[in-house]
Structure 1
Amino acid sequence: MLRPALLALILTGATLPAFAQPPSETVPLLREIKEWVVGCDNLRNCHALSAPSGVNEEDDSSLTLHLWHQAGPQGYLRLRFDHRGEPVDLSTLLLDGQPLGLALTRDLHVELDDQAGDPEVQSYGVIEDASARRWLQRLRNGQRLQLPGDEQAHVSLSGLSASLLLMDAVQGRVDNVTALARPGKGAANEVPPRLPAPVLRKFVSPPPLNAQEQAGLVAVALKAATPEEGGSEAKAGALTAQQAMTVARYDCAAYNCEYDVNSRQRQAPYTETPLNVQPLPLDGAALQGSVWYDEASGTLSYFYKQRGIGDCGGAGSWVFDGERFQLSEFHIMPRCTGVASGDWPALWSTTPAP
């Protein structure tokens, strides 16, 4: 049986919308689509990047294509290639065995700053909106980008079109002139505005721990941690005039450790107090891998590596506001493809305290 709304459209001769789903999805969002990974943060800013899904060494690539589309009617569009290894000439790129041509490659500009501090990564950006759209229009119908003579320097385009459509849906652009996958006649000003960024409440620096407080807190934290493999280590830092943080590390594997993270009274017997930490989105597992607290800024951070070189995993940080740790940023990369942590998709963005 036809639903009433659908029957009314048919009877009136109206056309069904080109995209049947809602104009946006719940954010933050992380999705793997064939040979691509898409992440959209809490503001609806989206980042898609090529990421081979294979687990064999021959599936690895020294070339990664990033796409960023900021939310909102005037949100910027940017495209960037990262190449790991010796400098290359991207003007020779082949799309399905055919040269891309000067009309596209002349828009590539070498970026001088090292990506994520890695001097072995060379980046080539397309920073103008119209130029980036010309690139995507060409690439959407292709299968593979390849540097001639270099089997390791390739980008699979399988999943690119679906990734662009997902980004459009998240940002409410489907059938809009600003859409990447399915542009239409909708005016740019009809695109929903970017969601407001949470404003972090300020951390008020307390008196630092004195030597006696440091020694007592570390001793209690070490006693509470139960090492199973390897030795344990603990550090302490001030939270407020009455409270302190203790971070005890134990049971380390090859490149990740377990941690016992607590807030405690600064005076003996250093009793535990409630630790209020804003949960990570998407059921992210926090406070593992490497964990540290910076008492100068009131920042609690973690970095988790899925493998030793640290090109996949999760990372996040929180800022203490006197009562709770507010989530400041969160990045995640589910596939190990050589992408440095500074270029992992951001799933949570905030505005610093004024």
Structure 2
Amino acid sequence: MGLRNISLAATALVFAHAGAAFADSGSFGDWAVVCDNGRTCTAMGFGDLGEMGSSALLLLTRDAEAQAPPRVSLITAGTAATTLALSVDGVTPPGLAALPATPMADDDERRITELTPDQTRALLAVLANGRTLTLVEGRNPAAAISLRGSSAALRFVDDRQKRAGTVSALVARGARPASETPAPPAIPRVTAAPAVAQTRLPAMPTSALQGRLTDCDDDIAELGFAPEVARLGQGRLFWGIVCSRGAYNVIYRLFLTDDRGGDVRALELSYPSGETTSELMNISFEPATQTLSNFDKGRGLGDCGAITRWVWTGEAFTLQHQVLMPECQGVKPDQWPVSYRSR
């Protein structure tokens, strides 16, 4: 089994344990797609995987509205401003011979190139039927992105956005007008409850909580993990207590209690798939925003998996946001596509 397949298997195991799912996503050859709950979709093509991560990442993003154009960004390694030329199987499409690649504001190890609408159309005209997209700096090839699976990935986007058969489809074009593309689903609104003081919190789980942890790892108490505890409101505490761990994931059991740690109830959270869980990996809670976050790592590098947020509304923890990377390809989380969003 190759590295990529091993990584995908590891990611699948993470999601199976945590209760998460791959939202509306798919993997196609060397490409992947993630679509969110508003039918915005991002197709991704990956460069060669080296010690420092992927040498390049192509992000093709399209919103769900009928007239929304596709947008293409390229993330490449490097620090100095330069230009890139793009070629597909040795041929440079019109307008793609000298593209600016500028350092990213928040990362001095990467550059970003954003294509104009005309440049995007020129690339899409040859992308789906090509074999390799080559990025060239001067006369030197800088990175190569395999196009194996790109056609299937773009057809997946057309299908999920209900554009197949319309003139605005990326690949699955037809004669129907773009106006026949249905409007996207409404994005839910999530409002956090007011922040409350975090004084006089208990330091250790009560006996009532301990009684709910009898099936945890035998040695977990010896490892000295402190519980996550926060006051959500009057008479309501949140608890996250470590129950088990793996090589790079720490798994917490989640509970709600009264101020004294009694009236223990398991906290059930919903993922974008609709699945529920009372366990999360690698959690943190931000009292100022009443936000619970977790990072389901697909492997130790943290370059695949999901990062999800829930907000305490005063009645329940409600799903707020998720980014997802189903492929372990050295991509940093700040470039992962959104798989769930709220307002």
Q: TM-score, normalised by structure 1?
A: 0.78
Instruction: Measure, in 2, the Cα distance between the counterparts of 1:284 and 1:133.
Output: 41
Choose the corresponding residue for 1:308, options 300, 311, 331: 300
Matched, 1:258 2:251: yes
Instruction: Measure, in 1, the Cα distance between the counterparts of 2:274 and 2:45.
Output: 22
Instruction: Measure, in 1, the Cα distance between the counterparts of 2:285 and 2:206.
Output: 14
Choose the corresponding residue for 1:146, options 120, 134, 141: 134
* Partner residue, 2:271: 279
Letter in 2 for 1:146: T
Instruction: Measure, in 1, the Cα distance between the counterparts of 2:276 and 2:26.
Output: 14
CA deviations on 1:24-49 (whole Å, 9 max, x unpaired) are xxx94110011100111111110010
Q: Between Structure 1 and Structure 2, which shows a larger proportion of strand residues? A: 2
Q: Which structure 2 residues correspond to residues 125-140 of structure 1 after superposition, within 5 A? A: 125-126=114-115, 128-140=116-128
Question: Which stretches in structure 2 are left out of the alignment for 5+ residues?
Answer: 1-21
Bigger relative contact order, structure 1 or 2, given CA contacts below 8 A and separation 6+?
2
* Partner residue, 1:214: 202
Other structure's SS at 1:92 match: strand
CA deviations on 1:83-142 (whole Å, 9 max, x unpaired) are 12454855333322x241562245x4445544xx4321111111x334312211122221
Identity, % of aligned pairs? 26
* Partner residue, 2:18: none
Say if 1:286 and 1:121 are closer, same or farther in 2 by CA, change over 3 A: farther
* Partner residue, 1:159: 149
Give the CA deviation at 1:151: 7.3
* Partner residue, 2:230: 237
35-44 vs 228-237, which deviates more? Answer: 228-237
Matched, 1:121 2:85: no
* Partner residue, 1:185: 175
Letter in 2 for 1:233: A
Instruction: Measure, in 1, the Cα distance between the counterparts of 2:141 and 2:85.
Output: 14
Task: Answer whether contact 2:298 2:304 (CA < 8 A) is retained.
Answer: yes
* Partner residue, 1:24: none
Q: Which structure 2 residues correspond to residues 1-354 of structure 1 after superposition, within 5 A? A: 28-51=23-46, 61-87=54-80, 89-96=82-89, 98-100=90-92, 103-106=95-98, 108-110=99-101, 113-114=104-105, 117-126=106-115, 128-147=116-135, 153-206=143-196, 208-211=197-200, 213-215=201-203, 225=213, 226-227=216-217, 228-229=219-220, 230-249=223-242, 251-267=244-260, 269-281=261-273, 283=275, 287-351=279-343
Letter in 2 for 1:160: S
Give the CA deviation at 1:282: 6.9
Task: Answer whether contact 1:69 1:78 (CA < 8 A) is retained.
Answer: yes
Give the CA deviation at 1:350: 0.9
The count of corresponding residues between Structure 1 and Structure 2 is: 314
Instruction: Measure, in 1, the Cα distance between the counterparts of 2:110 and 2:176.
Output: 39
Instruction: Measure, in 1, the Cα distance between the counterparts of 2:109 and 2:185.
Output: 36
CA RMSD of aligned residues (A): 3.0
* Partner residue, 1:13: none
37-46 vs 243-252, which deviates more? Answer: 243-252
Say if 1:287 and 1:105 are closer, same or farther in 2 by CA, change over 3 A: farther
Say if 1:313 and 1:105 are closer, same or farther in 2 by CA, change over 3 A: same
Task: Answer whether contact 1:93 1:100 (CA < 8 A) is retained.
Answer: yes
86-95 vs 153-162, which deviates more? Answer: 86-95
Say if 1:297 and 1:78 are closer, same or farther in 2 by CA, change over 3 A: same
Give the CA deviation at 1:305: 1.6
Give the CA deviation at 1:164: 1.1
Give the CA deviation at 1:328: 0.6
CA deviations on 1:226-246 (whole Å, 9 max, x unpaired) are 453533211211112110111
Question: Which stretches in structure 1 are left out of the alignment for 5+ residues?
Answer: 1-26
Task: Answer whether contact 1:276 1:324 (CA < 8 A) is retained.
Answer: no
Other structure's SS at 1:132 match: helix
